[in-house]
């Protein structure tokens, strides 16, 4: 008769995953409203904060560590009408905010 012997020095349950930091991310794409072409070099910012990003060649941007809650996201580029959109950022999540700017 052989039984199974379990010797556990540290059998405590693994620690729980870290709680969301209270911040999330905002990402999206900016295009020209008429031809639908991607717009590079657009400043996208979270109004009332120092958080911003500039769109790449594909018209994409990403802003991290945005405080959870309701925010206003602004897209601006010389020659185009500045556009604001409202979004709700969820802690640990990502919200997508796309823009189609007009001349």
Which residue did the predictor score with more confidence, 20 or 48?
Answer: 48
> How many whole angstroms separate alpha carbon 40 and alpha carbon 102?
14
This prediction has a pTM of 0.79
Q: Nearest-CA neighbor of 39 among 54, 61, 57, 62?
A: 57
Residues with Cβ < 8 Å from 100, sequence gap 6 or more? 30, 31, 32, 33, 36
- Residue 9: CA atoms inside 13 Å, Cβ hemisphere, count? 0
pLDDT (tens digit per residue) in 66-94: 999 999 999 999 999 999 999 999 999 99
Report whether pLDDT(19) > 50.
Answer: no
> How many whole angstroms separate alpha carbon 86 and alpha carbon 100?
15
- Position 49 scores a pLDDT of 97
pLDDT (tens digit per residue) in 40-75: 999 999 999 999 999 999 999 999 999 999 999 999
């Amino acid at each position: 008769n052989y039984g199974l012997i379990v010797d556990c020095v540290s059998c405590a349950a693994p620690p729980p995953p870290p709680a969301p930091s209270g911040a999330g991310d905002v990402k999206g794409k900016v295009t020209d409203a008429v031809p639908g072409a991607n717009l590079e070099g657009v400043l996208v910012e979270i109004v009332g904060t120092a958080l911003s990003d500039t769109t790449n060649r594909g018209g994409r941007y990403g802003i991290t560590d945005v405080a959870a809650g309701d925010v206003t996201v602004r897209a601006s580029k010389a020659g185009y009408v500045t556009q604001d959109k409202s979004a709700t950022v969820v802690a640990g999540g990502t919200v997508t905010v796309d823009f189609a700017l007009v001349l």
